[in-house]
Structure 1
């Protein structure tokens, strides 16, 4: 994982005293370093005499309702620790905002590699297909988790998942809206009118399943840990599959890079059809209808998230210096969705 060299705005002495009282085996002092990346919940590496830990907190300032739910992240990490899905170990949730100024949780530090570019330039061409196969297999394993056995049967609401999500992200977009964007208005009108019947059995869905939220083992095409569970809930698993598949359609340039117009055969990256087929085989599905709807919704949701990042940046509350650049992608993302529905 990559960290920034600048010191974070944390009272590390107060934090160390708190964690020594609440985490078995924890000993200070604490040296904290903010990880690079992350637009939502600031994340820090803690170096201590008792080992390395990762702290993930809500950002300071006024927050949108239901956003930055680090308590939900902690709950799902705790539940998945007993399943085949690879995750960090959840150590402690602190809901007392007086300790560092916002709610936070502590988890284990996992050694591994994080890739920001879905072209995987750091990996040998012949290995890239194996990395993607591991990603799809991890996603299928996540969606096969028995939510009742994991204690997550109440982790989401009943009803049509996509209808709820369209309503949610429309509200979030409106709350963070700064300027009128034509393609977003088109999607807000089209998506509810074309929402398919929800026939999938509800699964645990990650909600932000993309390559930079995955940690891989050093030197091996194996997902070691799935990161950033803030948007997880119970719902239609095809939302995760479509959201990850966006990387094949996003522009190669920009803060959120993709593989649009790239020769994936030359790169050694599987085509979308191959990934979808692998997923369907692993989960015993005959195929996927209404695929363009799921993709269009995924672009819409990412655009809504980007708009929230932009709004926080304008308010001075964004957790990353590139937040305004991310916010500038809203219209591009919405336009890519409109291409799928025209």
Structure 2
């Protein structure tokens, strides 16, 4: 089993369970962990020539409402018919006797993931960064224009008061995860609460829609084949999703030497390009984007702090998380700059 130390799956309980509940699990089992993510743990399960994906929450203390495998199963058992980049969920296990937590098994899809730089598969293609960016905005718009009721997901969340609850929830998560006071976070929480925008639409909000949660058809930068990581999906204001994508995009206000989380490297379009393409595909008004972008920076700061706290408390041995307290500070500082410009 190819996994990080301390993140192994208990195969003595898991393998017979899978063979009982999933008829395609036939032949010897091999397990390989996907190591690119920082939160939920994802493993490839291979039985003979069939591959599947298992997703489970991380080890250690988990913030209330986070890493919800039941929610992810709800989405991925209904959405793929209406949004084909969503991979289909095959099984949900809620029996803690199997691996200790809820987990889902889903279909395995193949493709190229863009992380921090242009993959080799896309080298030499004309306008490739622009085309990849455009495809990301197009698939984001396609998701936000899905009718939740038609997709059987009208019960996924409570859209009324969504942004207010998001702000309150992420502020509470900061209080649970913080290891020291941060004046930028406190300022952001206060300022954002004073002028919350009214939503233009009720959409399925992914919660973490960015390049490294997508797969592209190899050699085809115009086509997103898969979108992953649906455990935070809900119904709400779609501009919160767009702002989350922008928070991980290169920004002239970010000093790379102060950002331990690598951002995109290369000749990528600026944030104005992303917003223009998204507005074109959806018809939404983006005049209140500074609020959304500042909120996204707050949320990202909290996520980084949660990951650092999990590492500090011994919940993971993933050494990458040692520097995430610094990332939390950088994102909080950027969010404050976004909201102060528009005072």
Separation of aligned partners in 2, 1:140 and 1:95: 33
Q: Which residue of 2 aligns with 1:203?
A: 203
Tell me the secondary structure at the aligned position of residue 105 of structure 1. Answer: strand
- CA pair 46-216 structure 1, distance change in 2 beyond 3 A: same
- CA pair 87-95 structure 1, distance change in 2 beyond 3 A: same
Q: Which residue, 322, 325, 334 being the options, matches 1:324?
A: 322
Q: Which residue, 292, 299, 321 being the options, matches 1:294?
A: 292
Cα deviation, 1:168-205, whole Å, max 9, x if unaligned, reads 00011111111111111111111101222x23121001
Cα deviation, 1:210-234, whole Å, max 9, x if unaligned, reads 1111111111111110011121111
1:277 Cα offset (Å): 1.8
Q: Return 95-104 or 248-257, whichever deviates more.
A: 248-257
Tell me the secondary structure at the aligned position of residue 10 of structure 1. Answer: coil
Separation of aligned partners in 2, 1:45 and 1:214: 16
After the TM superposition, which residues 103-114 of structure 1 pair with which residues of structure 2 at under 5 Å, given as runs?
Answer: 103-114=102-113
Q: Which residue of 1 aligns with 2:228?
A: 227
Separation of aligned partners in 2, 1:319 and 1:144: 40
Separation of aligned partners in 1, 2:309 and 2:5: 24
- CA pair 25-121 structure 1, distance change in 2 beyond 3 A: closer
Segments of 4+ moved more than 6 angstroms: none
Separation of aligned partners in 2, 1:65 and 1:313: 18
Separation of aligned partners in 2, 1:128 and 1:21: 45
Number of aligned pairs? 331
Contact 1:15–1:99 under 8 Å retained in 2: yes
Contact 1:26–1:50 under 8 Å retained in 2: no
Q: Which residue of 2 aligns with 1:170?
A: 171
Tell me the secondary structure at the aligned position of residue 328 of structure 1. Answer: helix
- CA pair 91-295 structure 1, distance change in 2 beyond 3 A: same
Give the structure-1-normalised TM-score: 0.90
Tell me the secondary structure at the aligned position of residue 193 of structure 1. Answer: coil
1:80 Cα offset (Å): 1.4
Separation of aligned partners in 1, 2:271 and 2:38: 27
1:292 Cα offset (Å): 0.8
Contact 1:16–1:28 under 8 Å retained in 2: no
Gaps of 5+ in 2: none
- CA pair 274-326 structure 1, distance change in 2 beyond 3 A: same
1:32 Cα offset (Å): 1.3
1:4 Cα offset (Å): 5.7
Tell me the secondary structure at the aligned position of residue 53 of structure 1. Answer: strand
Separation of aligned partners in 2, 1:93 and 1:320: 26
1:189 aligns with 2:190: yes
Separation of aligned partners in 2, 1:114 and 1:251: 25
Q: Return 119-128 or 164-173, whichever deviates more.
A: 119-128
Separation of aligned partners in 1, 2:55 and 2:334: 32
1:319 Cα offset (Å): 6.9
Cα RMSD for the two superposed structures: 2.1
After the TM superposition, which residues 1-342 of structure 1 pair with which residues of structure 2 at under 5 Å, given as runs?
Answer: 8-49=7-48, 51-117=50-116, 119-120=117-118, 122=120, 123-124=122-123, 126-196=127-197, 198-221=198-221, 222-246=223-247, 247-249=249-251, 252=256, 254-258=259-263, 267=267, 269-285=268-284, 287-318=285-316, 320-342=318-340
Separation of aligned partners in 2, 1:320 and 1:83: 36
Q: Return 123-132 or 141-150, whichever deviates more.
A: 123-132
Tell me the secondary structure at the aligned position of residue 248 of structure 1. Answer: coil
Cα deviation, 1:304-324, whole Å, max 9, x if unaligned, reads 111111111122113733122
